[in-house]
Structure 1
């Protein structure tokens, strides 16, 4: 089997409401649907979500790097030769989301060619994954209302609260209101998206002591090395690396130098192959992992479920999988469903992302 073409299709789907957080806000999904075509008619599918305020990639840059750089390198290659594909793409620095999408599409081809769901190829630990819901910047009472609604409608009991606001009292109050309203059984963890200084993060930890906050993700910029290490050494809860840990090399650096004590894995920026490398580093060092969200569509969320459900360690915590519910539409022919607080993997070969061609035609950009 040979790769015959790479197809990068830009498309835009509005969100029903913007999601706001410390490093930016999102009003529309300006994504790229990636298709890898083969001479046997098997097509690998993946979604690439640009996040310029985090990684620098844009919709236009992903289309350009796929068409102008990756396509000439990969056309004619056997899609099972993933190491060769990665070696070719590695010659281009950065562009993690574009590379991750290519990798997921390669795994999708492998699953379809072998007639096996990708989550089985990756590990096959579980057939489903527990869901965490991400709460953006809102007044505390509105956050509680949203959390209660998602709990009632979807059975979700884990909530990731976006923080990093000033004054700090806004986020502290949100933590208090959520704990009081959700009860002791709900899990609440925080993500500041580098919005605080190390000292501000320590103050928030002091003020929220006793509220049962389980994790603190990217509280301050990891590049502020001394402050970050001081915070991690004093934190009573795990500090999670996310923006600071996109690659295995970054993960090694941050864990071994004391920059974090847990790691967020996002298949949208690592694909499945690098995600497995990151997971191996974390399990070998006894470090907890979470499955994160790039404000993914259902196509991207399905890929996260495939990887997260495949492994014991990534199944141990709820994955951030529900933000597609804030989108006005999606490209999947068969929508994802959250039932009993979980999303199931697809039993079909590959990742299982069958695209509704009429919707793609409607939302695609010139």
Structure 2
């Protein structure tokens, strides 16, 4: 089997409600659908979410790097030769989500070729994974109501709370209100998206010490080396590297230099192949891992559950996979369902990223 040609299709889907957080806000999903075509008629799909405020990638840069630089590595390649393809992609610096999308599309082709779900090819640990919902900036009562609705309607018991870049007292009140409304059994954790400095983050930790928070993701910019290391050393809960660990090398650096003591893995930026390397690194060191969210569509979320449910270590905590419910529509051919707080891994051959062609035609941006 050989890859004969590729497509990069920009598309745009409106959000039902904007998602706001310390490093930006999203009103529309503006992604790129990658499609790898083979001489056997198979098509591998992957959703690529450019995040200029996080990785510097844009829709235009993703399309350009894949159609020019990456095309040389892909056209004529056998999808099974992932190592050879990745060695060529590695020569190009950055372009993290573009590389992640290529890897997912390759795995999708492999799963289809062997008539096996990629979830099983990776490990097949569990048939499903628990869901965590990400709560963006809104007035406190509105955030509480959103959390309660997800518990009532979908059985979700885990929430990531967006904080940072506003008065600490406001976020302390929000977390206290959520804990009171959701009760002691809900899993709650914070994500400041680098929105505070270490002093403010320390104030947040002290003020919420009795609210049983589990993690604190990117409390301040990891480039603030000394204060970040001091924060990690003194924090009573794990500090999670996310934007500061977009690949295996950066994840290893942050952990070994004391910039974090837990990791967020996002298949959108490290695909399945590099995500497995990061997961193995974390497991060997006994580090907690969260399966994170790039404000993923269902196409992106199905990749998260495909990988996250495949391994025991990535299944220990709920995965961030529910924000596609904030989107007006999706390209996925077989929509995801959240039942009893869980999403099931695809059972079809491939990665479960098959596309509804009518919706693609409607939402594509030419």
Whether these two folds match at TM > 0.5 is: yes
- The answer to whether the 8 A contact 1:165-1:171 is kept is no
- The answer to whether the 8 A contact 1:9-1:34 is kept is yes
Q: How far, CA to CA, are the matches of 1:62 and 1:97 in structure 2? A: 8
Instruction: State the match for 2:132 in structure 1.
Output: 132
Q: How far, CA to CA, are the matches of 2:247 and 2:233 in structure 1? A: 23
Deviation string 1:136-181 (CA, Å, 9 cap, x unpaired) is: 0111111110000000000000000000032111110001000011
Q: CA deviation at 1:72?
A: 2.1
Q: How far, CA to CA, are the matches of 1:299 and 1:323 in structure 2? A: 12
Where do residues 6-25 of structure 1 align in structure 2 (5 Å cutoff)? 6-25=6-25
Q: CA deviation at 1:73?
A: 2.2
Q: Tell me the SS of whatever aligns to 1:177.
A: helix
Instruction: State the match for 1:183 in structure 2.
Output: 183
Instruction: State the match for 1:104 in structure 2.
Output: 104
Instruction: State the match for 1:34 in structure 2.
Output: 34
Q: CA deviation at 1:286?
A: 0.5
Instruction: State the match for 1:314 in structure 2.
Output: 314
Where do residues 231-310 of structure 1 align in structure 2 (5 Å cutoff)? 231-310=231-310
Deviation string 1:283-304 (CA, Å, 9 cap, x unpaired) is: 0111000000000000000000
Q: How far, CA to CA, are the matches of 1:261 and 1:272 in structure 2? A: 22
Q: CA deviation at 1:74?
A: 1.4
Q: Is 2:145 the partner of 1:145?
A: yes
Structure 1: gaps (5+ residues): none
Task: Output the aligned Cα RMSD.
Answer: 0.6
Instruction: State the match for 1:78 in structure 2.
Output: 78
Q: Tell me the SS of whatever aligns to 2:214.
A: strand
Q: Is 2:79 the partner of 1:88?
A: no
Deviation string 1:59-78 (CA, Å, 9 cap, x unpaired) is: 11101111111112210111
Q: Tell me the SS of whatever aligns to 2:150.
A: helix
Q: Is 2:200 the partner of 1:200?
A: yes
- Structure 1 segments of 4+ aligned residues over 4 angstroms from their partners: none
Q: How far, CA to CA, are the matches of 1:20 and 1:161 in structure 2? A: 11
Structure 2: gaps (5+ residues): none
| Matched residue count | 366
Instruction: State the match for 1:48 in structure 2.
Output: 48
